[in-house]
């Protein structure tokens, strides 16, 4: 238990996380504090670029072994299976379009949650593999495809217009965040150590500062969404907490079958527990226009995201360290 409290205390006193809480407090105080949209988008792109590049560098120094191949396959399996089972739970309360959109969001991943988890591991001085960035990149598109496929299969019963699979497939693969993380990973992989050292001040030294500013922005956005969202009903709130706990805890436990790395197991748990609030909403605006963004976006951003970066990470790491 001492270790558990230590991990929790370390996480909750992390400056980047405290900036997140500052953003929420600013909203409650009705402050005019805000991060300009263009700046927020730039910082988001920077974080994805940086983590992709560093992951590529780590991958270039890794020997491709069975663990890496199993990790990539398991990541794809999670991206296909989580939205499939989540959809049928969501259908108990929501429409076909809303269920498909939410299921896709929870099968996909949050790059910012992943980045925050890496910061947490560095704080705890726990190693992890660069190939985990590739796992994250591979998990984005499959869940979108499964969500759209489910909507397409069940849309006829609801009288909803079926989305065009080909168009959505192209959009999910060429989505800016997906393309940037994959491209950065490849660039980091082919860059030499000397070349990587040349841009280290940009990719590494200022990383935590930008993460703090971005989490401040996320706190402001979450604070604005939360109060209105709670009024929509407790089923969505409970789903946005219980499903991440189940996914994250189960994956933190089961990944012991192919990796002994506590860091990798935590990152797998975070990938399974997180929900996309960037790539999936962008895709669903096209694929499922009847899905309500004021439902699936706050679930991912205002409930699941804060839970994972505060209580989720210490919980999943505790499971990884004790199983």
User: Does domain 36-321 bear CATH number 3.40.50.300?
Assistant: no
CA distance 233 to 117: 29
* pLDDT over 80 at 210, yes or no: yes
Q: Which residues contact 118 (CB under 8 A, 6 or more apart)?
A: 51, 128, 267
* pLDDT over 70 at 172, yes or no: no
Instruction: Please provide the size of the chain in residues.
Output: 323
Percent composition of the chain: helix, strand, coil (DSSP 3-state, to 5):
80, 0, 20
CA distance 107 to 84: 8
48 pLDDT tier (thresholds 50, 70, 90): confident
Q: 286-318, pLDDT tens digit by residue?
A: 777 888 887 888 899 889 999 999 999 999 999
What counts of helices (H) and strands (E) characterise the chain? 18, 0
- C-alpha closest to that of 272 among 52, 131, 108, 118: 108
Query: Tokens in use for 292?
Result: 């309500």
Average pLDDT on 36-43 reads: 86
Q: Global pTM?
A: 0.82
Q: 213-263, pLDDT tens digit by residue?
A: 988 998 898 888 777 677 777 899 999 999 999 999 999 999 999 999 999
Domains of the chain, by residue range, sit at 36-321
Q: Do residues 107 and 131 touch, judged by C-beta distance below 8 A?
A: no
77 pLDDT tier (thresholds 50, 70, 90): very high
Q: What is the largest CA-CA distance in the chain?
A: 59
Percent of the chain predicted with pLDDT > 90: 41
CA distance 183 to 219: 29
Helix, coil or strand: residue 207 = helix
């Amino acid at each position: 238990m001492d270790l558990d409290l230590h991990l929790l205390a370390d996480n909750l006193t992390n400056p980047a996380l405290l900036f997140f809480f500052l953003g929420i407090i600013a909203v409650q105080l009705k402050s005019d504090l805000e991060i300009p949209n263009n700046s927020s988008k730039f910082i988001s792109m920077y974080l994805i670029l940086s983590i992709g590049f560093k992951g590529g560098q780590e991958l270039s120094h890794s020997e491709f072994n069975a663990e890496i191949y199993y990790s990539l396959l398991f990541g794809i399996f999670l991206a296909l299976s989580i939205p499939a089972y989540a959809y049928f739970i969501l259908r108990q309360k929501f429409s076909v379009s809303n269920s498909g959109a939410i299921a896709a969001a929870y099968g996909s991943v949050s790059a910012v949650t992943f980045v925050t988890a890496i910061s947490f591991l560095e704080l705890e001085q726990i190693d992890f593999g660069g190939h985990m960035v590739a796992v994250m990149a591979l998990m984005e598109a499959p869940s979108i495809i499964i969500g759209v496929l489910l909507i397409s299969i069940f849309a006829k019963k609801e009288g909803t217009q079926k989305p065009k699979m080909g168009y959505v497939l192209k959009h999910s693969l060429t989505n800016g965040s997906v393309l940037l993380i994959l491209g950065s990973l490849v660039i980091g992989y082919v860059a030499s150590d000397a070349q990587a050292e040349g841009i280290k001040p940009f990719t590494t030294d200022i990383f935590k500062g930008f993460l703090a500013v971005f989490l401040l922005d996320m706190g402001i956005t979450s604070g604005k969404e939360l109060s209105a969202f709670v009024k929509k009903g407790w089923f969505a709130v409970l789903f946005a907490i219980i499903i991440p706990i189940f996914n994250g805890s189960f994956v933190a436990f089961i990944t012991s079958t192919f990796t002994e790395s506590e860091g990798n197991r935590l990152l797998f748990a975070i990938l399974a527990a997180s929900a996309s609030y960037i790539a999936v909403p962008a895709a669903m605006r096209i694929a499922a226009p009847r899905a309500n963004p004021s439902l699936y976006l706050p679930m991912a951003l205002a409930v699941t995201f804060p839970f994972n970066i505060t209580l989720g990470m210490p919980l999943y790491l505790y499971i990884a360290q004790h199983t």
